[in-house]
Structure 1
Amino acid sequence: MTAKPHVIVVGAGIIGASIAWHLTRKGAAVTIIGEELGGVATPCSFAWINASWGNPEFYFHFRRRAMAEWKRLARELPGLPLAWCGGLCWDMPPADLEAYADEHGRWGYGITRLNREESALLEPGLGEYPDFALHVAEEGAVEPIAAARLLLADAEAHGATFVHATVNGLLQSGGRIIGVVTSEGMLEADHVVLAAGAGAVPIAASAGITLPLSTPAGLIVHSRPVSKRLNGLVMTPRLHMRQTAEGRIIAGTDFGGGDPGEDHQASAAELFARVKATIIDNGDLTFDFFTIGYRPTPADGFPIIGNAGLPGLYAAVMHSGVTLAPLAGLLAADELLSGKSDESLMPFRLQRFADAEQSAKN
């Protein structure tokens, strides 16, 4: 009988949890190593599931496919805190909104153009509305910490092991990564997956590998739970908001969160005041806390998924981790266990950065 391949997944946020869950379901022996159940960046996410603006067509279709994988994941994992609530958007000038709607509509995104009255019917709790807005009914949101923890718990129920530890470096032998050095000791495996967001950078560097990431900060404010005020996602020029399953209004100056400035408390207070000014029924809407997340953003904006420069080492690092999590988990698990390259991941290989640098020199 062939032994199950042993895979160490470093990172317990939404990406690491998805990869671990898919690997476990496909029969691997999985060890998840993390400092926190739910990760570090995941709890600070706005958690908008979308294939929205600002991306080339190939990446749009990849993100749209990821949206479909969320529906598949919800069927396979009952209780996943997922809502297809739709998104109302007027965070660009009208001409830009129209260009976006035209382009993404041609690509297959279900965009509806709304006038002021139609927007008010969709989101009656707002204080003002634009003359022109867009609505995408197929967009949604997930409660990211709860989703990551549910994936991890189910993976553990099917044999995965969680180790609460810090990874300090990688173990090498014969030019191959064979495990990790942690605060709890050394662990060996057939494969190591770096899914720790910005935390993957120093771990990769311990083996001489550069992950070209930036980590812009994003401020998100959270209200105390209140009764229903928002029906879906609302993206205005200076405020992106949604209401969580728990009833909290969470908001940033955009979906990634805004610049927290030097005085984080003052920036959070100013942002929450903007939330209250936008919602008409705000008498019981009170501030609870804010988060500052550091978004692991590859240098060209696209995910890094695949071999990370040495046999036995795999990276899965990206912004838009929430949208991409179920697809990244599925494809990474398939690739790790089959050994076959997945064509849809070709634009996202780490090697592209070295290729681009060499091309620039030539």
Structure 2
Amino acid sequence: MSSAKEVIVIGAGIIGASIAWHLAKAGARVTVVSESGAGGVATPNSFAWINASWGNPETYFRLRRRAMAEWTRLADDLPGLPLAWCGGLCWDMPTDEQEAYAAGHSSWGYGIERVGRDQVARIEPNLAELPDLALYIAEEGVAEPVAATSALLADAERRGARIVTGKTVIALTRSGGKVTGVEMSGERHAADEVVIAAGTGAPAIAETVGVKLPIETPPGLIVHSRPYTKMLNGLVLADRLHMRQTAEGRIIAGSDFGGADPGEDADATAHELFAATKTMLRGGEGLELDFHTVGYRPTPVDGFPIIGRAEGADGLYVAVMHSGITLAPAVGLFAAREILDGERDALLAPYGLNRFAQ
């Protein structure tokens, strides 16, 4: 890979941090610009589930599967990365849909095991309500989102990257049809390539050079308990809510992994959701609600990632998606290769911005 390219990465969430780290590791001169600190806006509000689950087409499953493998590679490169392959229990869909999901993903090589009531109790002995049948995927895991992002940025900085926080990118600069840098707070910074990995802020930045990003930003409320004794071994995706326990002992939960609809009164919604969480756990009466978060998920309108160069804006690379935690290490690796060597991984073929022009 080239060691000469100057690259500005806009965004310090998990995607921007991974792209910056992979670029710096490859020898590029990298500057990360973010209005907020490590984690950005969406990452701190993430359920942080690493998986290739759900009703995805096989092409997207393959990308997510590769990303799971890249998390293992990343952990080897960054010892101490807060990553746990804790496994996940799932019974949050009708029986026929659950069976179709299990059959399809199993045929693609996903390690899904059908488990009964007794096995569920052995896997998660503190569940107060047990399903007659659930799916168990031992290879799924979690990354503590802000800590993982901070670790990537710190190591990128150690490798020579500049991390600039508290600065707002007002516009991209352009010359002769090529993006040449960014303007922020009255300053202009030149670059050979600019990467937009700014989540919900990405469309406004791209619009400054006439690039439209078709993205929705649905909200998701997640409740966080005060740190508590060990109650959950892994992910629990039940029919009423999804929950897990963080490395510091907090039970976090949402009506699904994306979080609950906050409704008209987010505080009231949080208290209702937390009450439901407590009833799901034996011994849960001692849990105390610490806080809730409402995150806005940067979700392309067709549900799939936007990863790649923007046509008509040479020098601009876009990486915006909802499944940032799962995809981060693979996106970082593939984006760095494409930016520095022009080498686009075949797994990214369906996820260019140009698909929306069709």
TM range (shorter): over 0.9
Structure 1: stretches of 5+ with no match in the other structure: 356-362
Q: Counterpart in 1 of 2:15? A: 15
Structure 2 Cα separation of the partners of residues 95 and 341 of structure 1: 38
| Match of residue 324 from structure 1 | 327
1:288: how far off?
Answer: 0.3
**1:212-270 deviations in whole A, cap 9, x for unaligned?**
00000000000000010000000011100000000000000000001000101000000
Q: Which SS does the other structure have where 1:283 is aligned? A: helix
- Which residue of the partner structure matches residue 34 of structure 1? 34
Distance 1:192-1:126 versus aligned 2 partners, 3 A rule: same
Among candidates 267, 276, 296, match of residue 265 of structure 1: 267
Change (3 A) 1:226 1:6: same
Indicate the residue corresponding to 1:236 in structure 2. 238
Instruction: Name the structure 2 match of 1:65.
Output: 66
* Distance (Å, rounded) in 1 between the aligned partners of 2:138 and 2:98: 16
How far 1:284 moved relative to its partner? 2.2
Paired AA for residue 5 in structure 2 = P
Aligned to 2:144: 143
Aligned length: 354
Q: Which of 182, 185, 188 is the matching residue for 2:187?
A: 185
Counterpart residue identity of residue 211, structure 1: L
The 3-state SS of whatever aligns with 1:15 is helix
Contact 2:337 2:344 in 1 (8 A): no
Instruction: Report if the CA contact (8 A) 2:3-2:29 is conserved.
Output: no
Paired position in structure 2 for 1:359: none
Matches of 1:141 and 1:231 in 2, distance apart? 11
Whichever residue aligns with residue 244 of structure 1, its letter is: T
Aligned equivalent of 1:25:
25
What secondary structure, in the 3-state scheme, does the structure 1 residue paired with 2:286 have?
Answer: coil
The question of 1:209 aligning with 2:211 is answered: yes
TM-score (norm 2): 0.97
State the secondary structure of the residue aligned to 1:289: strand
Aligned to 1:345: 348
Percent of paired sites with the same residue: 63
Rounded to whole Å, the distance in 1 between the matches of 2:202 and 2:164 is: 17
Which sections of structure 2, spanning at least 5 residues, go unmatched? none
Mapping of 1:36-185 within 5 angstroms? Answer: 36=36, 37-164=38-165, 165-183=167-185, 185=187
Aligned partner of 1:317: which letter?
A: V
Kindly indicate whether the alpha-carbon contact (under 8 Å) linking 2:49 and 2:143 is maintained by their aligned counterparts in 1. Answer: yes
1:85 & 1:274 partners in 2: Cα distance? Answer: 23
Counterpart for residue 337 of structure 2:
334
Q: Is the Cα–Cα contact under 8 Å of residues 8 and 31 in structure 2 kept in the other structure?
A: yes
Q: CA deviation at 1:344?
A: 2.0
Residue among 310, 314, 319 paired with 1:311:
314
CA contact (8 A) 2:3 2:28 kept: no
2: distance between equivalents of 1:93 and 1:343?
34
- Report SS of the residue matched to 1:222: strand
Whole-angstrom distance in 2 between the partners of 1:304 and 1:216: 17
Please state whether the residue corresponding to 2:96 is helix, strand or coil: helix
Runs of 4+ in 1 over 3 A off after TM superposition: none
